[in-house]
């Protein structure tokens, strides 16, 4: 049995007992667990985030929903309290018609959905089908994100994002998540997405894993990972550090999507980021977290935090 | 704060243990009521469809022993099924056997005789006014002392052995003791050696052979003797079916009573409280009773019916009024059985915490595994598992179907609940008719229905979203934890220990605190992260 401690691996028990419970303030959780609250928080702070076209808080909100959809072309339907990308429907094209029965939605899995199926999806979300603990939920209709050309050879479908883990506002580790054929377009590592370790100083991809195994090439596109460098890297780090200032969550995961025109944009935040990031980077979180803990009092400004992580990680 | 936490862990673990030690060593209290469950169900059955040709010869002679009330046991009731397969007169026959009728032999149906027997053991040597003296009639005396069936040479050998073992002027009891010690010390047990001749010549034999030998020796000195039959239960804690030995033993008639001589557990004049007497005067039926293919016997303890041990409670009241006041034995039997059922749940949570925190096994929901194990206990493991798998399969199918109809969530769940109830009824009917899906105590309860429904809803969402691989992994995790909990919850002596010493439950808090304090790696994390050491 290998000595995980010598690799600095942070285990699940320690993650919860030493980082999440003491450093993440329970009252701040709604701002990251509830995507509607996250969207409002980010909007008011002026940080880049997907545009919120419309929201549905209760079933009666769907009465004039058909009218509200008029003029939209593509968008995403999301549960506010969903997890791991569950319950999300991506609409690539809306064929809007004055008659509800003639309105059609072309979704990302090349299916055509009629209006009643759309309403069913909305009501499923409202009833709490996808929410973290089955509570009644709300629906966001949000801007559909695009894929930066850099990723064209790195994905088969879906949207890649960068997960950055920050401790006390300092980025400590980052991972690029690439949806694959077997993950069915989702970015979750345990569903088969590829996770790439990223050098914080440069945005270079260092390692890649799929299903806990190291790989050299992308499984779907055969693209070699060697030497690839994520665009808008410095801006991404800055965005992550800025967003961490908004919430009282010491151990935070920030998911960033790079847009072709506007650069990095915050997709969501997570108060319980997972541990696979360590495998993707082939490096443990513990020494980095301990280093930040010992030096954090000296790091007051946003720039000093970014510099610290660029220099050390 | 940290010190307080450590103190709390320490206290939670130490307090119940100290209380136990105090009660056991200083107050001399017994930790569980002694002989809490000396009530047994015994099933004696026969069926002819699996017999070979040689045995078929004997089928016509089949008799089933019918347990009888003696000084060492009380038969509470006996049921014979099916009634139409036996000779009407034989269920009350004086020779204590039940005879199948001729038409049954063709039908090959199973005949089963079920008795509830309460055992107390009895010492026949100690003078006891309860034992009424009886008189043997002249013909009986003749019958029980006769050696006429023996060949002359065997008879001569027997007399020779007998006279070498005892003096002519020894009393009857003295002679019998000497025979008993001779067999106990010198004989080698040989399971197939039943005959008197072998016993005399090679000094070995089965229980039947040994019993025949002692009986014959007694008859040499005109002491009436006979052979009787019973089962010796081998006590096993926590098991439902118990192992037993088929035992023949001899009985001798001295001073107006039949005294047992058991060579199997080396007891002279004593029937132990783990012995069920099935038949007396069994020489004529010995070959049949001995044959496992013809007569099968199954022994099971009846624990719940004797949960309340009045003797224990009275003793407690007189000696330790404080402990008697806080004892769970105070309650009525129905309340007691509820406590009996829930007492081990805190220890189930310990297993759950351990498996999740130390091992790292994922489960659906947090307490689902414990609820599932309660469901298995409530029904039975086979019933529970089978029901569970069928319901999950059907639940998944209905969800996939109803998803296509765009049925809203609450009505959909209501339909699921209805289907679960329908299946529950179907399964109960199946269980009642087939017998292989036996339900514990023949009772069913409401609450498994809700457990199952909630589980399916979680399961089907998980299945659709996480895919088959992760769902199977998590299902197996849930199952392994609930099976472990089930095993723990079915350990009867542990339940009895906690029932009598409920303060032990505090231990569960202590251990949970201890586990909750563990920040090290989970066992499965070594598997998950082992790649990190590979390749640089």
- Min Cα distance A149 → chain B (Å) is 29
Query: Do residues B35 and B308 touch, judged by C-beta distance below 8 A?
Result: no
Sketch the domain layout of chain A as residue ranges. Answer: 9-47+147-312, 52-143
- Min Cα distance B375 → chain A (Å) is 23
- At residue A15, the pLDDT reads 94
Sign of the dihedral through C-alpha B45, B46, B52, B55: positive
Is B464 near chain A, with CB under 8 Å? no
List, as one string, the DSSP characters of chain A.
---GGGGTPPPHHHIIIIIIHHHB-GGGHHHHH-HHHHHHHHHHHT-----EEEEE-SGGGGTTHHHHHTT--SEEEEETTB-TTTT-EEEEEEE--SSGGG-EEEETTS-EEEHHHHHHHHHHHHTTSSBTTS----EEEEEPPP--GGGTTT-SSS--EEEEEEETTEEEEEEEEE--TTTTT---GGGT-EEEEE-TTT-BEEEEEETTEE-SB-TTT--B-TT-B-TTHHHHHHHHHHHHTTS-BSEEEEEEEEETTTEEEEEEEESS--STHHHHHTS-SHHHHHHHHHHGGG--SHHHHHHHHHHH-
Q: CA geometry: angle at A43 spanning A37 and A46, to 5°?
A: 140
For chain B, how many residues are written?
Answer: 536
Please report the number of interchain residue pairs, chain A to chain B, with beta-carbon separation below 8 angstroms: 75
Sketch the domain layout of chain B as residue ranges. Answer: 39-302, 348-490
Query: Do residues B360 and B525 touch, judged by C-beta distance below 8 A?
Result: yes
Nearest to B89 by CA among B77, B79, B101, B74: B101
Residue in A1, A9, A214 closest to B535 by CB: A214
Q: Is the pLDDT at A205 greater than 90, yes or no?
A: yes
Q: At a CB cut-off of 8 Å and minimum separation 6, what does A306 contact?
A: A171, A234, A237, A238, A241
Distance between CA atoms of residues B302 and B307, nearest Å: 9
> Which of the pair, B210 or A157, is modelled with greater confidence?
B210
Q: Is A201 exposed, middle or buried (0-12, 13-18, 19+ CB in 10 A)?
A: middle
Q: Which residue of A has its CA nearest to B536?
A: A282
Which residues of A, range 188-227, sit inside 8 Å of B by Cβ? 190-191, 209, 212-214
Residue in A117, A123, A278 closest to B408 by CB: A123
Q: Which fold has domain A9-47+147-312?
A: D-amino Acid Aminotransferase; Chain A, domain 1 (3.30.470)
With contacts defined as CB-CB under 8 Å, which chain A residues touch B470? 190-191
Cβ within 8 Å, pair B534-A214: yes
Q: How far is CA B277 from CA A85, A109, B75, B118, B260, in A?
A: 69, 75, 10, 11, 11
With contacts defined as CB-CB under 8 Å, which chain A residues touch B408? 120, 123-124, 127
Cβ within 8 Å, pair B521-A4: yes
Residue in B406, B465, B466 closest to A120 by CB: B406
Question: Is residue B117 helix, strand or coil?
Answer: strand
> Which of the pair, B307 or A151, is modelled with greater confidence?
A151
Nearest to A247 by CA among A85, A57, A33: A33
Nearest to A168 by CA among A282, A22, A267: A22
Sign of the dihedral through C-alpha B125, B127, B130, B132: positive
Residue in A4, A14, A130 closest to B529 by CB: A4
For the beta carbon of residue B184, count every other beta carbon within 10 angstroms. 17
Per-residue pLDDT of chain B (536 residues; tens, 9 = 90+): 888 888 999 999 999 999 888 888 887 776 766 545 577 888 888 877 666 655 666 667 788 888 888 888 888 878 887 777 777 665 566 677 888 777 776 666 788 888 888 888 888 888 777 778 888 888 888 888 888 888 888 888 888 888 888 888 888 888 888 888 888 888 888 888 888 888 888 888 888 888 998 998 888 888 999 999 998 887 654 445 567 888 899 999 988 889 999 888 788 888 888 889 988 888 888 888 888 778 888 887 765 444 445 556 666 777 777 877 778 877 776 777 778 778 888 999 999 999 999 999 988 877 888 888 888 887 778 878 888 888 878 877 877 787 777 776 678 778 888 888 888 888 778 777 765 555 555 556 666 677 777 777 778 777 766 777 788 888 889 989 999 999 988 887 788 888 888 889 999 999 999 999 999 999 999 988 888 876 54
Q: How far is CA B146 from CA A214, B30, B220, B340, in A?
A: 90, 50, 9, 56
């Amino acid at each position: 049995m290998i000595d995980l401690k010598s690799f600095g691996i942070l285990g699940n028990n320690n993650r919860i007992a030493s980082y999440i419970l003491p450093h993440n303030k329970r009252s701040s959780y709604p701002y990251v667990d509830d995507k509607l609250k996250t969207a409002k928080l980010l909007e008011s702070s002026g940080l880049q985030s997907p545009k919120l076209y419309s929201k549905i808080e209760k079933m009666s909100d769907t009465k004039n929903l058909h009218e509200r959809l008029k003029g939209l072309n593509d968008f995403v339907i999301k549960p506010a309290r969903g997890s791991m990308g569950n319950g999300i429907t991506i609409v690539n094209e809306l064929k809007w018609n004055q008659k509800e029965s003639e309105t059609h939605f072309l979704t990302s899995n090349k299916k055509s959905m009629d209006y009643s199926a759309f309403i069913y999806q909305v009501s499923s979300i409202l009833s709490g089908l996808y929410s973290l603990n089955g509570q009644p939920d709300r629906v966001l209709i949000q801007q559909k994100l695009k894929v930066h050309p850099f990723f064209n050879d790195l994905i088969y479908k879906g949207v890649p994002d960068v997960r950055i883990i920050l401790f006390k506002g300092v980025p400590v580790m980052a991972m690029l998540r690439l949806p694959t054929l077997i993950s069915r377009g989702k970015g979750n590592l345990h569903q088969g997405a590829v996770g790439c370790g990223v050098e914080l100083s440069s945005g270079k991809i260092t390692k890649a894993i799929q299903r806990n195994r190291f790989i050299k090439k992308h499984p779907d596109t055969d693209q070699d990972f060697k030497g690839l460098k994520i665009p808008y890297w410095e801006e991404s780090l800055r965005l992550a550090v800025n967003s961490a200032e908004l919430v009282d969550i010491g151990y935070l995961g920030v998911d960033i999507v790079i847009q072709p025109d506007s650069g990095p944009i915050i997709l969501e935040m997570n108060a319980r980021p997972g541990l696979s990031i360590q495998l993707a980077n082939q490096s443990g979180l513990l020494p980095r977290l301990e280093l930040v803990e010992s030096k954090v009092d000296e790091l007051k400004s946003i720039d000093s935090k970014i510099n610290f992580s660029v220099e050390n990680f | 704060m940290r010190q307080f936490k450590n103190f709390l862990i320490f206290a939670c673990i130490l307090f119940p243990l100290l209380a136990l030690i105090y009660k056991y060593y200083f107050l001399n209290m017994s930790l569980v009521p002694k002989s809490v469950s000396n009530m047994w169900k015994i099933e004696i059955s026969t069926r002819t469809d699996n017999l070979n040709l040689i045995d078929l010869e004997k089928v016509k002679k089949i008799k089933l022993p019918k347990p009888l009330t003696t000084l060492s046991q009380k038969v509470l009731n006996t049921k014979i099924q099916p009634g139409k397969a036996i000779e009407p007169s034989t269920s009350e026959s004086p020779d204590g056997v039940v005879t199948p009728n001729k038409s049954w032999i063709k039908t090959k149906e199973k005949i089963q005789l079920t008795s509830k027997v309460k055992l107390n053991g009895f010492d026949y040597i100690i003078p006891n006014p309860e034992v009424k003296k009886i008189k043997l009639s002249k013909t009986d005396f003749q019958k029980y002392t006769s050696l006429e069936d023996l060949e002359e040479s065997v008879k001569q050998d027997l007399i020779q052995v007998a006279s070498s073992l005892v003096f002519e002027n020894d009393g009857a009891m003295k002679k019998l003791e000497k025979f008993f010690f001779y067999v106990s010390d010198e004989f080698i047990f040989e399971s197939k050696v039943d005959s008197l001749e072998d016993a005399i010549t090679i000094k070995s034999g089965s229980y039947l052979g040994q019993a025949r030998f002692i009986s014959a020796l007694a008859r040499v000195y005109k002491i009436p003797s006979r052979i009787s039959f019973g089962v010796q239960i081998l006590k096993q804690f926590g098991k439902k079916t118990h192992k037993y030995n088929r035992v023949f033993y001899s009985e001798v008639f001295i001073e107006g009573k039949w005294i047992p001589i058991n060579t199997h557990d080396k007891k002279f004049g004593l029937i132990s409280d783990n012995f069920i007497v099935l038949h007396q005067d069994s020489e004529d039926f010995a070959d049949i009773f001995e044959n496992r293919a013809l007569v099968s016997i199954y022994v099971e303890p009846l624990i719940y019916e004797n949960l309340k041990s009045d003797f224990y409670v009275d003793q407690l009241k007189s000696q330790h009024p404080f402990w008697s006041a806080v004892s769970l034995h105070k309650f009525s039997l129905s309340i007691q059985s509820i406590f009996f059922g829930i007492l081990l749940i805190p220890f189930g949570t310990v297993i759950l915490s351990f498996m999740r925190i130390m091992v790292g096994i994922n489960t659906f929901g947090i307490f689902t595994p414990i609820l599932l194990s309660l469901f298995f206990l409530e029904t039975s493991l086979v019933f529970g598992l089978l029901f569970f798998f069928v319901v999950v399969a059907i639940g998944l199918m209905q969800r996939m179907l109803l998803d296509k109809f765009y049925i809203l969530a609450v009505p959909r769940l209501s339909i699921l609940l209805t289907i679960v109830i329908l299946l529950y009824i179907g399964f109960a009917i199946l269980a009642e008719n087939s017998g292989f899906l036996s339900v514990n105590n023949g009772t069913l309860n409401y609450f498994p229905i809700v457990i199952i429904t909630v589980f399916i809803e979680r399961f089907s969402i998980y299945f659709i979203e996480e895919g088959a691989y992760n769902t199977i992994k998590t299902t197996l995790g849930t199952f392994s934890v609930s099976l472990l909990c089930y095993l723990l919850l079915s350990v009867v002596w542990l339940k009895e220990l906690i029932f009598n010493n409920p303060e032990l439950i505090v231990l569960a808090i202590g251990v949970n605190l201890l586990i909750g304090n563990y920040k090290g790696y989970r066992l499965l994390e070594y598997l998950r992260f082992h790649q990190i050491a590979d390749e640089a």
